[in-house]
Chain A
């Protein structure tokens, strides 16, 4: 949450955004959606590179093409174009009955509009027609010429970039710009035909709300919902390669996949099932198939099916005890109270933490430790170092609260050495900010820590901040405080749900307006 004075008044508070290239996920979804699933995306589309500041993969700078990116984009476009002739008759029946420029225009009306997320301008249509004409002039068949057109289409910035026209000090987005924002936020893809049809009137708040509600309720939103929670919590797609197979021989590919699916099902259910900030952080729900039922020690559903079960409330606390998250925030064989604690302080409380010293790893290797050290032993040694204590005194207690979950997220009460896990502690300086010292939270384990954190207004504001970052693909500035406050208010309102928080974001000036500043 940014500091600084900013007054939320009756004026419009637009948000600055940057043009950004589609992420790999967005590209894959877009190719499928543009061509009705009849053409497959290419694996050659260049991915993201660099370290995210927000934690979210849509940051513009992460998706800038590098030196080899243009070539990869070219190869990717060719891969898709090569598939076109075989699918052309299904995509555009006139390709068989009347293969002429009228048919090309029919194709562009449908698929060009989807790719560009708006009707083509006359110049754009002409340019694409020229590609087709050049193909015909070179002796290519109708289908081949259409493929050359598609090769061109998929290398155009209108397809590759989510970009909005310059806005100066601020202006409302037009309906098509709103449609793109909405669809990429909620579905990680292009607007569907219904949204494009509604675009001319999308500047009407009721229409916008109706379309957002429709999309959020659709299964197409699952990908974006899961991505938000994964990227916020640092939850990766865990694989057996991430873990020490000698320590966790049961952690095979099928188990890892079930663990990943279980996480996604949980967070989607939280948004769809009227989940709240409280349930997100304290729910005992878990989604299990045969593998995850065995993992949790609960009754398995019929083979091949999933079931929502309720776990022991003394052990589990919503998203933060999802095994996929716990496994992601851990090392190969050992837990990481640093990774887990950093999530709490940096991403749940939105506190600014410093950068580790360059020699952090060597310092860690030289720490004096007892034999078979516990997490607390190691933490104490780290905090004893003056250059480390500033951040680790804040992070470590929060991470140690999760020590009862091993490196793959299994509940435990003792270490392999036989020593008992002590998850109790004191979380210092909660709510601290310039001029305010903050207060300490004492807890017996992570469940009591999460329960107390839920009472901190900072948590709702921070989640609102994360939704804001996810939506605009950048860090917030003081000018964004009104939008963030609106999302936080939706979360803390009586009965306020996660989906209402998302809808609150969509209703802000930051969503419906943009500026260049």
Chain B
């Protein structure tokens, strides 16, 4: 039965659309993304806005180095901005030279909206509007155990900022740029939403004995798997025209089976590692109306626990921690009481370097950024602390990708994105505890590699070709926000594998 689910899952390709694969290819045994009795593979995406929060040419405080090499040993800060990652430096890989190439097709002179629309999708946008699903959605379709399982949930990492009118809710996206699976910003409600159906403790009573009709209905979600062998052998003996007719038939079966659950709609018992957080454990700070950021530390910690338990309880296999406040996160908790230079709401202006009431120094920017690093580390440590049914760490089965919308926030520059990878140690042939300054790669390269690390065979992600083939040679490519000298009509959207 597990093989059926695996192959079926692979009928869904990027963008959530059905792959029009030749029948033999569609029916061929696929091992990628295989979910066996071993713990499931998972993906966590961490997002923060404004990239390295400084401009190109400013004092570098994010990159651990200018060349590829090992990160400092555990306990030593990799860099100023990443100082909080010191306890987990052996669990991470930091990446430089990752560019958002496809964003230059947008014709969006401001560049921020188009960067948000493409940094997770890598699909040619419609101006500032996204046109494709984000990486978490694509992976979510493939990793979920059944269509009924939640996927690609997006959990806020910060409470509401001073200015709640501008958000980064256009980063995590569904098919064709539809809104992602954003979860409630109320942490209590979030726990209710995610764990309502989770059964812990004594196993539920066995379901009533299924009737024959129940059993037949339960098979509907895996028809193609059931008939795949027979189709293949029968098809092999036919001429090409007849094979094409069978292929069309198989395609319609594929369309049909995806409308049904792949497995009987029963609630499986929760894994032993599952311990849903209690709503009573969440401090009552009137979260939905919270505006000052004084308790962002509590908020982030609560949300991380909820996210990790959602994975541990197999509520979902793809989740994102969204540090979504683009304009005015106060970072109040990162400074001595009442001393945050951003408490008046000028983080965004400070990142731009266009003057702010308290004229924050680069050090203050680094301190603010340290919030992201601190809770990224806590997320990794929490994932490492949970044991799977086979004794492995949950972190070893979970790939964590930390990305941003921009390379350098100061001028909406779309190159040299700050990228950190962690978890799923076995998917890093060259190991972890490394800083990689490889050839220029695109975000599309990064996400294709992420899918491969999860078991896929993808070589590209999002739009393909070159800038001109993607949108036409006459489009204004706005090269000024890209890597100097790189952006022209022949610039490819993919460069190849990363040096991992």
Contacts and interface: CB of A to CB of B under 8 A. Distances in A.
Interface of A: 18-19, 21, 60, 64-67, 69-71, 74, 78, 81-82, 85, 121, 123-124, 127, 131, 134-135, 138-140, 144, 147-148, 151-152, 155-158, 161, 163, 165-167, 516
B255 A157 contact: no
Contact of B233 (A71, A124, A140): A124
B209 interface: yes
Given A70-B256, A121-B233, A165 B215 contact: no
A165 B237 contact: yes
A19 B212 contact: no
Interface in B209-237: 209-210, 212-213, 215-217, 219-220, 223, 226-227, 229-231, 233-235, 237
A20 to B, nearest CB: 8
Contact of A152 (B217, B227, B255): B227
B386 interface: no
A64 B231 CA distance: 16
A156 B238 contact: no
Given A64-B248, A127-B229, A516-B239, A147 B255 contact: no
B252 A163 contact: no
Contacts of B349: none
- Shortest Cβ-Cβ A-B pairs, 4 listed: A19-B242, A166-B239, A70-B252, A70-B256
The winner among B226, B245, B255, B256 for most chain A CB atoms within 10 A is B245
Contacts of A81: 212, 216
A74 B233 contact: no
Contacts of A135: 215
13 contacts: A65-B249, A67-B252, A70-B223, A78-B216, A140-B212, A140-B215, A152-B227, A155-B227, A157-B227, A157-B246, A158-B230, A166-B237, A166-B239
B241 A18 contact: yes
B234 A157 contact: yes
A135 B215 CA distance: 8
A2 B213 CA distance: 52
B364 to A, nearest CB: 60
B1 interface: yes
A75 to B, nearest CB: 9
A19 B229 contact: no
A131 B233 CA distance: 17
B270 interface: no
Given A138-B215, A167-B239, A71 B256 contact: yes
Interface string B131-164: 0000000000000000000000000000000000
Contacts of A165: 237-238
Given A69-B252, A134-B1, A157-B249, A123 B237 contact: no
Contacts of B216: 78, 81-82, 147-148, 151
A144 B249 CA distance: 27
Contacts of B233: 121, 123-124
A85 B256 contact: no
Nearest to B254: A70
Chain B contact residues, majority secondary structure:
helix
A81 B215 CA distance: 11
Interface string B182-225: 00000000000000000000000000011011011101100100
Q: Chain B interface residue count: which class?
A: 20 to 34
A74 B256 contact: yes
Nearest to B223: A74
Given A21-B249, A65-B252, 13 more contacts: A64-B248, A65-B248, A70-B249, A70-B252, A78-B216, A78-B217, A82-B212, A131-B226, A135-B215, A156-B234, A157-B235, A157-B246, A166-B238
The winner among B223, B229, B230, B233 for most chain A CB atoms within 10 A is B230
Contacts of B210: 139
Given A69-B252, A70-B252, A127-B230, A139 B209 contact: yes
B241 A82 contact: no
A106 B440 CA distance: 65
Contacts of A18: 241-242, 245
B18 to A, nearest CB: 12
Given A124-B233, A144-B215, A60 B245 contact: yes
B245 A158 contact: no
Contacts of A121: 233
Nearest to A159: B230
B253 interface: yes
Nearest to A138: B215
Contacts of B248: 64-65
A144 B239 CA distance: 37
Nearest to A123: B233
A319 to B, nearest CB: 34
A166 B243 CA distance: 10
Contacts of A66: 252
Nearest to A514: B239
Contacts of A67: 252, 255
Contact of A163 (B220, B238, B256): B238
A163 B242 contact: yes
Given A155-B227, A516-B239, A64 B245 contact: yes
Nearest to B249: A65
A517 to B, nearest CB: 9
A258 B472 CA distance: 69
Nearest to B237: A165
Nearest to A141: B212
Contacts of A78: 213, 216-217
A70 B219 contact: no
A64 B226 CA distance: 21
Contact of A85 (B212, B231, B235, B246): B212
A362 to B, nearest CB: 37
B123 to A, nearest CB: 27
A152 B238 CA distance: 21
B255 A70 contact: yes
Contacts of B259: 71
A516 B215 contact: no
Contacts of B1: 134
Contact of A19 (B213, B226, B246, B255): B246
Given A60-B245, A65-B249, A82-B213, A155 B223 contact: yes
Nearest to A167: B239
B258 to A, nearest CB: 11
A150 to B, nearest CB: 10
Nearest to A145: B215
A148 B213 CA distance: 10
Contact of B230 (A19, A71, A156): A156
Contacts of A163: 234, 238, 242
Interface string B112-142: 0000000000000000000000000000000
B253 to A, nearest CB: 4
Contacts of B249: 21, 64-65, 69-70, 157
Nearest to B245: A19
B215 A157 contact: no
Interface in B416-448: none
Nearest to A517: B239
A175 to B, nearest CB: 16
Nearest to A144: B212
Contacts of B255: 67, 70
A155 B224 CA distance: 10
A475 B230 CA distance: 31
Nearest to A147: B212
A158 B234 contact: yes
Contacts of B239: 166-167, 516
Nearest to B4: A134
A18 B243 CA distance: 10
A155 B249 CA distance: 11
Contacts of A155: 223, 226-227
The winner among A74, A156, A157, A165 for most chain B CB atoms within 10 A is A157
Contacts of B219: 148, 151
A148 B215 contact: yes
A516 B241 contact: yes
Interface string B249-271: 10011011001000000000000
